[in-house]
Amino acid sequence: MTKKMFASDNNSGIHPAIMEAIVQANDGHVPAYGSDLHTAAAIKKFKEHFGGESEVEFVFNGTGANVTGLKAMVRSHQAIICTDGAHINSDEGGAAEGVIGGKLLTVPSADGKLTVSGIEQHLHNIGNQQRSQPKAVSISQCTELGTVYTIEEIKEITSYAHANGLYVHMDGARLSNAAAHLGCSLAEMTVDAGIDMLAFGGTKNGLMMGEAVVCFNKELASELKYIRKQGMQLGSKMRFLAAQFERLLTDDLWLDNARHANGMAGLLAEGLMEFEGISLTQPVESNAVFASLPKEQIERLQEKHSFAVWNEEENEIRLVTSFDTSKEDVESLLGDVRKSFS
Amino acid sequence: MTKKMFASDNNSGIHPAIMEAIVQANDGHVPAYGSDLHTAAAIKKFKEHFGGESEVEFVFNGTGANVTGLKAMVRSHQAIICTDGAHINSDEGGAAEGVIGGKLLTVPSADGKLTVSGIEQHLHNIGNQQRSQPKAVSISQCTELGTVYTIEEIKEITSYAHANGLYVHMDGARLSNAAAHLGCSLAEMTVDAGIDMLAFGGTKNGLMMGEAVVCFNKELASELKYIRKQGMQLGSKMRFLAAQFERLLTDDLWLDNARHANGMAGLLAEGLMEFEGISLTQPVESNAVFASLPKEQIERLQEKHSFAVWNEEENEIRLVTSFDTSKEDVESLLGDVRKSFS
Amino acid sequence: MTKKMFASDNNSGIHPAIMEAIVQANDGHVPAYGSDLHTAAAIKKFKEHFGGESEVEFVFNGTGANVTGLKAMVRSHQAIICTDGAHINSDEGGAAEGVIGGKLLTVPSADGKLTVSGIEQHLHNIGNQQRSQPKAVSISQCTELGTVYTIEEIKEITSYAHANGLYVHMDGARLSNAAAHLGCSLAEMTVDAGIDMLAFGGTKNGLMMGEAVVCFNKELASELKYIRKQGMQLGSKMRFLAAQFERLLTDDLWLDNARHANGMAGLLAEGLMEFEGISLTQPVESNAVFASLPKEQIERLQEKHSFAVWNEEENEIRLVTSFDTSKEDVESLLGDVRKSFS
Amino acid sequence: MTKKMFASDNNSGIHPAIMEAIVQANDGHVPAYGSDLHTAAAIKKFKEHFGGESEVEFVFNGTGANVTGLKAMVRSHQAIICTDGAHINSDEGGAAEGVIGGKLLTVPSADGKLTVSGIEQHLHNIGNQQRSQPKAVSISQCTELGTVYTIEEIKEITSYAHANGLYVHMDGARLSNAAAHLGCSLAEMTVDAGIDMLAFGGTKNGLMMGEAVVCFNKELASELKYIRKQGMQLGSKMRFLAAQFERLLTDDLWLDNARHANGMAGLLAEGLMEFEGISLTQPVESNAVFASLPKEQIERLQEKHSFAVWNEEENEIRLVTSFDTSKEDVESLLGDVRKSFS
């Protein structure tokens, strides 16, 4: 038995069914760069979930998916509005600025969600040649704080954005977890809710690696493949990225994995709430639990468990579950929390 | 039996031993982004082959490896000297210009090799503020035309370059094939020959995907990891890239694969030379055969085989062998060539 | 008599002595791109003021001066720390992000000044490959709010920055006004206080156009001229930029102009403070007066005068004086303020 | 009497009428950044010459004008087709690659002109995701070799380009000289001939500094001002750029200056052709004379005159005349040529 970590869902490995798909795709020679049958089949699966008009491009990682999609939407003299904690702003090494050359206009957010009034505050200088011109909004579903936009919240943002000439991008690195939480389809939260461009995450949901740029706006689709290539995100043995997605989107594997991870986070949250001295700092709506607990308990837990201290000053930690987190893993952690208080 | 293609070595799949390494690395949770044991082990293997001073960063693909390494060497107002047929100039979708912002200064080359006199012609404007200032030379080993620099040829270039304040980058997408041809170690062609930065290829030699940026010049090493991240080349589940390299560099798998592919190319070339009306257009020194044959024969072959028409006007085709190309594959192709002439 | 505006010091024209210098420089043919005697003479003047080790490059405008200097200091994966109101962040159309490709890390500031603790909050992720790495601090002297750093404040920042591996850039679009306020030399606030790179402003102090990048750090100097050219800031008839600076730095013209403008701002501030219902929102330390007054008065004043409403919600206006603002201009404005209250 | 140089037309100074316009524009305060009456008047003049649909943006220099216009036409994954000697490729310090991030695809040209067949050779990879996609053609009128496209030649290029989805940019740093040569209006060579975007030169034709981006294609116009600002080409005291153009385009000053310079070049060419041992290497169609003469004569001339050795190996020199080159200047040079042969 291998100890599981709560540091991130990318500490987990490859789901067995995905691994099997990789192994089976390893059959002889096939054309490179996406002209193979696995890529065609995977794109077909995406169209089943997101509608037949979707344009799909597979890329290597989440930063690649976000920046490729955003670069199709904004030019360097334009700006992207997002929360200050957005992954594209905080954890992608300046890729958006470096690859696109544009500016991120950030909005502080306590729960990770962007709001219409947050967007609005950055629209005062439309037409002012001395300011980067907002052209896109980017939201994360789930957010970086584990919260989930309702479909209504998303529609409110897309309506406002479109009315103001802004495209809407969604960082869906954990989109499946959001669907599991909302009990809705992938399309309902995205294309049906007015999203123009999606980064659909696979790596955090059981893939070895692989994300998909899914474009719902025809005017943005035609140049995606060139942007992907210049952004160094075109894989040659594409079938091995595609085969993973083909399998993930078959027989609800994407949903089962996400439901399981969410369920484990729920279990963990329930357990933690029983301790006086521990409080949840965000609602638990996906596969992440944010909690504050005394510094001493944090330190004792760190001896046996791996997780992130999210905010050192506030003794806030982040615990992330995965498709392969087991009840035993959760109970083991909770047991050590118990010991830390004794 | 699956038909093999001669279109490119990236049409092949994953070598069985590499696949096994991936499967074995899929064991529980490990830290992401390179803080795992497979990454440590793979880097150790690189240091065994290239010397303990090497800095190694794994990336997703060849364009990522080339541009990450080159970006550590040149700033946007500087230039990179390479042949006009260099992969970085011809087949990377403008990634060098887009990600680095610098200029490629090209030299025509009939055999894919750069020469000192070719470099020299771009050094006339050193100090002229109106010209991009050459700061790096990039050579490909093997070249895009399947030819291989001798160690002496490499040293001549690195000596001249260093004497003129230029770094030397090597695109080693097929470096193993060059080592197999020269019968030398990986170090002898690279660090020992004065190369500053290497893109070491895995994908074309049996990996699912993965390339390594290997830096031999201490002054260029420290910022590589940030350049990799901003260039969207940092994999989260790094162990699966690393485990492939760990295995590739163990028990001479890299060399066996390359030798086999080179051997099949040699067999193919021998067979082709027996036909009147077919001539080799480049020396066969690695796993590619460039040949010209009558247009009619090309068209008949294309009905059953997959390969690139390299130069349509000159009826030149390119046939690439791989680690898994078999004698039967070669004989099948030669048989069809025979039929095409009858 | 022409009405003066209080909207900005770049609404003013060319100081007569500067105009005369332009006319006199218009004498026959001279080498282009800075190989002329006026450029040599102007650089000599800069060295007299800033020390013989200074590297000086003339550029067209303030954005050009800031970005050229900053680009010599940071690479695209690095970051610049500045206040959120810094001109480079707020009013340069995304030039820093677009031309450098790097990230601006901002610090809120009520008085326009950056502090050590503000810088410190952005240094928590040094060495974290997923974050843009801070490499430079940029401060504005005077600030965008008309305040002036004391020499001690500057030294505190440069000491802290250098101790943390950060270069310090100064946006000196109104540096002369700061010198007039502090009663110190140009060198005391810059090179002597540890500044690495300065954008020295001419346009706002009586020039037709022209700014100077002045580099005090030898390791940053050598590539400036190429950065200037790639940044499209190299003037061909350089003598006409240079001659203006040559004159500005002669016979204390730079200081007289700045003193005069500061004096007029002082007069204006004094006058405004006499009105109940008007309060200054920033200390008046240079040639700008920030004041809040009732919305009705603002609207009445706007009928006859040109100035910026700085913060609409707080009824804050900005009044900027210039080298050619006269007592009569000030009195005329004050008179209309008086009327607006009656 | 001041000796004139034949090194470049930017060695000349400011035409007296232009200087007077600058002096007269120096009258009190006016709004900055282009909201002044001189800018409005200058734009009106442009519309008179180029048609009422033209969008005009003033910038500082030729590189700024070229790159601003080109950036409105191509995105970073796209390419610009031009001759290898095009100023944007050879003499702008990598600004196109650095600021746009795109690729220049060059065509060798003996006379400086691009041809349809030259463009065609770069269109073989349309739709190939691994290649930068051509999106614009850039031609120089006059070319860098002093030759002038006929209106028919321009139309042939624009027709072919538009039929293939390419915009056409014209580097008109010396457009006035071309008009003087062809005896046509400015519009006939540009908007009427299908040009989409023009860089109209002022500096080489008697201005102190200043170029204009003139856009004839409505779909490209709207973002020009933001591109200009991010490209650091927005002047604050805009009136002084605008007033120069206002005057240049009044009373045919632009044409008189160009005619005069062309005439002096013609005189010079005639004189040179009388010497055995001197041959013109390009037709003299504007204000530049390219000639080859013995190395010894070149060296003797260099003692007294300033000019460029264009091609050292072929003993080819370039002599450029200007609006203020006099017959005496030409005769003085010819006299020294005569002496050098004696």
Task: Give me the mean pLDDT over the D177-202 stretch.
Answer: 98
- The pLDDT tens digits of the residues spanning D126-139 come to 999 999 999 999 99
The pLDDT of residue B342: 84
Residue B129 to residue C234, Cβ atoms within 8 A: yes
Nearest chain B residue (CA) to A95: B230
Nearest chain A residue (CA) to B99: A99
Kind plus residue range of the DSSP H or E element containing D103: strand D103-107
CA C134 to chain centre: 23
Task: Give me the mean pLDDT over the C122-149 stretch.
Answer: 97
The pLDDT of residue D220: 97
Q: For chain A, what is the mean pLDDT?
A: 96
Q: At what angle do helices D239-248 and D16-25 cross, to 10 degrees?
A: 140
Task: Please name the amino acid found at residue D315.
Answer: N
The answer to whether B101 contacts chain D (CB < 8 Å) is yes
Residues 178-207 of C with CB under 8 A from D: 203
Q: In the structure, what pLDDT confidence band is assigned to residue D10 with cuts at 50, 70 and 90?
A: very high
Residue D226 to residue A33, Cβ atoms within 8 A: no
Q: For chain C, what is the mean pLDDT?
A: 96
Residue A98 to residue C102, Cβ atoms within 8 A: yes
CA A247 to chain centre: 19
The answer to whether D223 contacts chain A (CB < 8 Å) is yes
The answer to whether B92 contacts chain D (CB < 8 Å) is yes
Q: Which distant-in-sequence residues (6+ apart) come within 8 Å of B82 by Cβ?
A: B88, B89, B104, B105, B106, B107, B114, B137, B138, B139
Distance CA D161, CA A287 (A): 54
Q: For chain B, what is the mean pLDDT?
A: 96
The minimal CB distance from D230 to the residues A77, A229, A234 is found for A77
Evaluate whether C112 touches C145 at the Cβ level (below 8 Å).
yes
The answer to whether D10 contacts chain B (CB < 8 Å) is no
Domains and CATH numbers, chain C: 15-248 (3.40.640.10), 253-340 (3.90.1150.10)
Q: C-D interface: how many C-beta pairs under 8 angstroms?
A: 171
ipTM: 0.96
Name every chain B residue with its beta carbon within 8 A of the beta carbon of A92: 229-230, 232
Output the CA–CA distances (angstroms, integers) from residue B207 to B88, B243, B285, C234, C263, in the order listed.
21, 10, 22, 49, 73
The minimal CB distance from A4 to the residues B25, B28, B67 is found for B28
Q: Which distant-in-sequence residues (6+ apart) come within 8 Å of A40 by Cβ?
A: none
Interface probe, candidates D232, D318, D326, D328, chain C, greatest C C-beta count within 10 A: D232
Per DSSP, the residues of C97-150 read IIII--EEEEE--SSS---HHHHHTT-TTTT-TTSPEEEEEEEESS-TTS----
Q: Which two tokens stand for residue B100?
A: 């680095």
The answer to whether B50 contacts chain A (CB < 8 Å) is no
Evaluate whether B76 touches B105 at the Cβ level (below 8 Å).
no
Res D166 pLDDT > 50: yes
Interface probe, candidates D66, D76, D97, chain B, greatest B C-beta count within 10 A: D97
- The pLDDT tens digits of the residues spanning B31-83 come to 999 999 999 999 999 999 999 999 999 999 999 999 999 999 999 999 999 99
- The pLDDT tens digits of the residues spanning B188-244 come to 999 999 999 999 999 999 999 999 999 999 999 999 999 999 999 999 999 999 999
The answer to whether D133 contacts chain A (CB < 8 Å) is yes
Distance CA C287, CA C256 (A): 13
- 0.95 cut: is pTM over it? yes
- Classify C64 as helix, strand or coil: helix
- The pLDDT tens digits of the residues spanning C39-74 come to 999 999 999 999 999 999 999 999 999 999 999 999
The answer to whether B2 contacts chain D (CB < 8 Å) is no
Q: For chain D, what is the mean pLDDT?
A: 96
β-pairing, B279-280 vs B78-83, is unpaired
Q: Which two tokens stand for residue B301?
A: 């072959």
Res D153 pLDDT > 50: yes
The answer to whether B226 contacts chain A (CB < 8 Å) is yes
Q: In the structure, what pLDDT confidence band is assigned to residue C1 with cuts at 50, 70 and 90?
A: very low
Residue A97 to residue C129, Cβ atoms within 8 A: no
User: Per DSSP, what are the bridge partners of residue B292?
Assistant: B279, B316
Output the CA–CA distances (angstroms, integers) from residue C276 to B144, C299, C303, C304, in the order listed.
79, 17, 21, 21
The pLDDT of residue D342: 84
- The pLDDT tens digits of the residues spanning A265-304 come to 999 999 999 999 999 999 999 999 999 999 999 999 999 9
Q: Which two tokens stand for residue D151?
A: 């209106």
Burial class, A288, CB count within 10 angstroms (exposed 0-12 / middle 13-18 / buried 19+):
buried
C-alpha count within 13 angstroms, C-beta hemisphere, residue D282: 27
Res D2 pLDDT > 70: no
Min Cα–Cα distance to chain C from D230, Å: 4
Min Cα–Cα distance to chain B from D298, Å: 20
Kind plus residue range of the DSSP H or E element containing D279: strand D279-280
Distance CA C181, CA C307 (A): 23
Min Cα–Cα distance to chain B from A235, Å: 6
Res D1 pLDDT > 90: no
Residue B78 to residue C226, Cβ atoms within 8 A: yes
C295-318 as b/e: b if 16+ CB within 10 A: eebbebbeeebbbeebeeeebbbb
Task: Give me the mean pLDDT over the D252-258 stretch.
Answer: 98
Res B291 pLDDT > 90: yes
Residue D133 to residue A226, Cβ atoms within 8 A: yes
Residue C11 to residue D32, Cβ atoms within 8 A: yes
Q: A-D interface: how many C-beta pairs under 8 angstroms?
A: 42
The answer to whether A2 contacts chain D (CB < 8 Å) is no
Q: Which two tokens stand for residue A231?
A: 């952004």
Strand arrangement of the beta sheet that strand B211-215 belongs to: B55-59, B211-215, B197-201, B167-172, B133-140, B78-83, B103-107
Residue D33 to residue A130, Cβ atoms within 8 A: yes
Distance CA D210, CA D204 (A): 9
Q: Which two tokens stand for residue D239?
A: 């009136």
Q: Which distant-in-sequence residues (6+ apart) come within 8 Å of B316 by Cβ?
A: B281, B290, B291, B292, B309, B310
Nearest chain A residue (CA) to C101: A98
B100-117 as b/e: b if 16+ CB within 10 A: bbbbbbbbebeebbbbee
Task: Give me the mean pLDDT over the A226-244 stretch.
Answer: 98
Helices (H), B169-238: 175-182, 186-189, 218-221, 224-230
The answer to whether A33 contacts chain D (CB < 8 Å) is yes
Name every chain C residue with its beta carbon within 8 A of the beta carbon of D63: 229, 232, 234
The answer to whether C144 contacts chain A (CB < 8 Å) is no
Distance CA D137, CA D119 (A): 8
Res D334 pLDDT > 80: yes
The pLDDT of residue C252: 98
Task: Give me the mean pLDDT over the A334-339 stretch.
Answer: 95
Residue C23 to residue D27, Cβ atoms within 8 A: no
The answer to whether D130 contacts chain B (CB < 8 Å) is yes
CA A114 to chain centre: 15
Name every chain B residue with its beta carbon within 8 A of the beta carbon of A231: 95, 98-99, 232
The minimal CB distance from B130 to the residues D91, D97, D129 is found for D91
Evaluate whether C205 touches C246 at the Cβ level (below 8 Å).
no
Distance CA A104, CA A92 (A): 12
Name every chain A residue with its beta carbon within 8 A of the beta carbon of B64: 232
Task: Give me the mean pLDDT over the B283-291 stretch.
Answer: 98
The answer to whether A126 contacts chain C (CB < 8 Å) is no
Name every chain D residue with its beta carbon within 8 A of the beta carbon of C306: 29, 31
Task: Give me the mean pLDDT over the B300-320 stretch.
Answer: 94
The minimal CB distance from A77 to the residues D130, D133, D226 is found for D226
User: Per DSSP, what are the bridge partners of residue A199?
Assistant: A171, A213
Distance CA B214, CA B53 (A): 10
Residue whose tokens read 């196109």 = D96
CA B279 to chain centre: 25
% pLDDT > 90, chain B = 98
Distance CA D334, CA D313 (A): 23
Evaluate whether B203 touches C54 at the Cβ level (below 8 Å).
no
Min Cα–Cα distance to chain A from B29, Å: 5
CA D295 to chain centre: 29
Res A1 pLDDT > 90: no
Res A2 pLDDT > 70: no
- The pLDDT tens digits of the residues spanning A128-181 come to 999 999 999 999 999 999 999 999 999 999 999 999 999 999 999 999 999 999
Residue D75 to residue A75, Cβ atoms within 8 A: yes
Q: At what angle do helices D327-341 and D295-302 cross, to 10 degrees?
A: 130
Res A98 pLDDT > 60: yes
The pLDDT of residue D3: 58
% pLDDT > 70, chain D = 99
Evaluate whether A4 touches A326 at the Cβ level (below 8 Å).
yes
- State the DSSP code for D110: S
Q: How far apart are the first and last CA of chain A?
A: 27
**Farthest-apart Cα atoms in chain D, separation:** 62
The pLDDT of residue B3: 58
Residue B77 to residue C223, Cβ atoms within 8 A: yes
- Classify C319 as helix, strand or coil: strand
Min Cα–Cα distance to chain A from C274, Å: 33
Which of B101, D71, A61, B79 shows the shortest CA–CA distance to C75? Answer: B101
